[in-house]
Amino acid sequence: MAQVPILRIGDCLVVTVNADLDDGSALTLRDDLACRVASISARGVLIDVSALDVVDSFTARMLGDVARTVSIMDAETVISGLAPAVAMTLVEMGVTIPHTRTALDAQGGLRLLGIVMESARERGA
C-alpha cells in the first residue's frame, strides 16, 4: 500500500496515481490532500490518472470524494489523462466523477489550473 506522492507547483498540488488504488491508499490520499491543500492554501489540485487502465465505480467514487473534499476547502480539482477506453467504459456504465473538470493530459490540466509551463506552448491558438 504505497503512499501516493503529492508534488507542489506554485499554489497547486499535483498527484500522479499509478496502479491499483485500494481502499486504504485512496482514503490516505484524500486525507493527505486535504492537509496539504490547507497547509499551502492551494487553489487547485491536479490528479493525473494516465497510468490507470481501469477505473471502476469504486475508484470513480474515491476520485469524486477527493474532489469534493478539495472543493470544500475552496480549491478546484482537475483530473487528467483518462484514457479513451476508460472514458468510454465509465460512460457505458453510467458512472460520473462530479466536482471536477477534466483535461486530456497533465499539461492540459495544469493549463486549466492557470499554470503555463515555460517549455511547452503547443495547443495554443
Partner 1 sequence: MGDLLGGSGTVLDDWLEAQRQAGVARPDLIDEAQRREQSSQVLTLLGKVLAEGSPVFPDDPAWDELRMHLDRLSESRAVDGFSPTETARLMLTLKDVLFKRLRDAVPNVTADAWSDIDEVTGLLDTLALYSSEVLQRSREAIIERQQQDMLELSTPVVQLWNGIVGLPLIGTLDSRRARLVMETLLDSIAETRASVAIIDISGVPAVDALTAQYLTRTAAAVRLMGAECIVSGIRPQIARTIVDTGVSLDGLPTRATLAGALALAFERTGRTVEPNG
Partner 2 sequence: MRLRADADLGRLRQRLRQLLPNASPFVITRILTVASELGRNALVHGGGGRCDIRPPGPGLRLLRLHFADDGPGIIDIGRALGDGYSTNGGLGLGLGGVRRLSETFEIDSAPGQGTRVRVALAC
Which residues are near partner 1 by CB under 8 A? Answer: 80, 82-88, 90-92, 96-97, 101-105, 108-109, 112, 122-123, 125
Which does residue 53 bind out of partner 2, partner 1, none, counting CB within 5 to 8 angstroms by kind? partner 2
Minimum distance, C-beta of residue 1 to partner 2, in the bound complex (Å): 8
Give percent helix, percent strand, percent coil of the chain, each to the nearest 5.
40, 20, 40
Q: Which is nearer to partner 2, 87 or 116 (CB)?
A: 87
Which does residue 118 bind out of partner 1, partner 2, none, counting CB within 5 to 8 angstroms by kind? none
Q: Which is nearer to partner 2, 16 or 25 (CB)?
A: 25
Q: Is the distance from CB of 63 to CB of 47 less than 8 angstroms?
A: yes
Q: 86-92 long-range contacts, Cβ below 8 Å, gap at least 24? A: 86/49, 86/52, 86/53, 86/54, 86/55, 89/55, 90/55, 90/60
Which does residue 69 bind out of partner 1, partner 2, none, counting CB within 5 to 8 angstroms by kind? none
